[in-house]
Amino acid sequence: MYSFAQRPDTRVVDEPLYGHFLRVTGADHPGRDEIMMQIDCDGPGVMDRLLREAADSPCLLFMKQMAHHLVDIDTAFLQRMRNIFLVRDPQQMLPSLTIQLPNATLRDTGLRMQWELYEDLVAAGQDPGIIDSRELLLNPGDVLRQVCAHLDLPYTDAMLSWPAGPRAEDGIWAPYWYHSLHRSTGFAPYVEKEAFPSDLEPLLAECRPWYEKLYACAFRAAKGN
């Protein structure tokens, strides 16, 4: 999201269906009550409004969605846009996820739903792209060039860096989730976590097949800079 926010032709929106997700699932996320009080929790209404605004705007609309937020909602709106999936190896992702969600499940990772959405979009004639976070960090410029080419957009090096600190586009949940992001000024070099908590092994086993399916279709980073 921060990368695309650097494009002068693009407006970004941070997780527009978060309130909807909290309302329909009752999920106990950090800041739940505050979030639901301050944002629109009517998922279909939110998407209708955003798509109307996009149709009347000269800017591209980049929506950062979480797959697990697409619950109890008609996902037909995905047919009206180009879709890019972002995935991360669960062995690297789960230790971070469970800091905020100690009882995280496969649903919280979104991996199975991402694969099911990917298959549905392909069956409907789309060609969704998949970014793997490791491949992205190994060579951000190359992977972003591939993403832009896939979307028929011009690439710009401006997408590689941003000022440190919060952004106006951040959702109000940023204080709970974006600590390291707000310290960043670009894509950090990839560093693999060495230790994996043994208590997360069962969840890792659930996640692994879905991630592997997605990774098989992901953009690959060219070696070198």
Tens of pLDDT, residues 171-210: 999 999 999 999 999 999 999 887 899 999 999 999 999 9
Per-residue pLDDT at 215: 98
Detail the DSSP E strand segments found in the chain: 10-14, 60-64, 84-87, 129-132
pLDDT of amino acid 20: 97
pLDDT at 52: 95
CA angle 168, 170, 174 (to 5 degrees): 130
**According to the model, what pLDDT value does residue 224 have?**
59
pLDDT at 154: 97
At 100, is the pLDDT very low, low, confident or very high (cuts 50, 70, 90)?
confident
Percent of the chain with pLDDT over 70: 99
Q: Is the pLDDT of residue 225 over 60?
A: no
What the block records as the tokens of 99 is 């800091």
Mean pLDDT of the chain: 95
Angle between helices 201-215 and 90-100 (to 10 degrees): 130
- Collapse the DSSP code of 64 into the 3-class scheme (helix H, G, I; strand E, B; otherwise coil) and give the result: strand
CATH tag for 2-215 (out of 3.40.50.1100, 3.30.465.10, 3.40.190.10, 3.40.50.300): 3.40.50.300
Domain-wise residue ranges, the chain: 2-215
What is this structure's pTM?
Answer: 0.93
- DSSP per-residue letters across 13-55: EE-TTHHHHHHHH----TTHHHHHHHS---HHHHHHHHHHHHH
- The confidence band for 153, taking pLDDT boundaries of 50, 70 and 90, is very high
Average pLDDT over residues 93-101: 90
